[in-house]
Amino acid sequence: MQWQTNLPLIAILRGITPADAHDHVAAVLDAGFDAVEIPLNSPQWEQSIPAMVNAFGDRALIGAGTVLKPEQVDRLAEMGCQLIVTPNIQPEVIRRAVGYGMTVCPGCATATEAFTALDAGAQALKIFPSSAFGPDYIKALKAVLPADVPVFAVGGVTPENLAQWMKAGCVGAGLGSDLYRAGQSVERTAQQAAAFVKAYQEAVQ
């Protein structure tokens, strides 16, 4: 399995509003990101996601996070959403999204959950919350997973510790509060995005 984008870092813009979305998405894409997730517990995501797909869908994988139900996948497909990220393993959500041709990165914590997700068709896995398990746990989990499955660390990843997650076998990471917090300035988002891109480039050298 091959991850869909050039840079395996997912910008998680939790809590972003439709008014702020364009400028912050533009900032992370300008820094080098090409995957963006707007979680469904963000205000008025029904406006933000289709607007970002229309504005940036040709430059990046634009998607939704905290997707919990198959019906939500149906709505997101109508919006042109390309990426589905979940906090849990719900096989029908995964199967539905795969049926639409979407990239699916569900959240799991155990080998059982990981293989359930892969059996349902997931193309990538996110280990969540990574900070609660640590790099050694991911390294052990990776030992039993198919070698070509892209694994993302999500939860507690910073520019300072990104390299240790990648050393443990992650292809990249999903970046939440250390990249974006609701209400922060576009300048702050751009600064953090650049710091993560630099940390990734240094980790793979």
Catalytic site residues? 37, 126
CB 189 within 8 A of CB 25: no
Q: What angle do CA 60, 123, 202 make, to 5 degrees?
A: 60
Write the DSSP symbol of residue 37: E
Please return the burial class of 115, using the count of CB atoms within 10 Å of its CB with bins 0-12, 13-18 and 19+.
middle
36-53: b or e for each residue (b if 16 or more CB lie within 10 Å)? bbbbbebeebeebbbbbb
* Pairing, β 125-127 against β 103-108: parallel
Task: Count CB-CB contacts under 10 A for residue 17.
Answer: 16
- The dihedral built from the CA positions of residue 94, 97, 103 and 106, taken in this order, carries a sign that is negative
CB-based contacts of 25: which residues, under 8 Å, 6+ apart? 11, 13, 36, 52, 55, 56, 60, 62
Q: Which residue has the tokens 């990165």?
A: 105
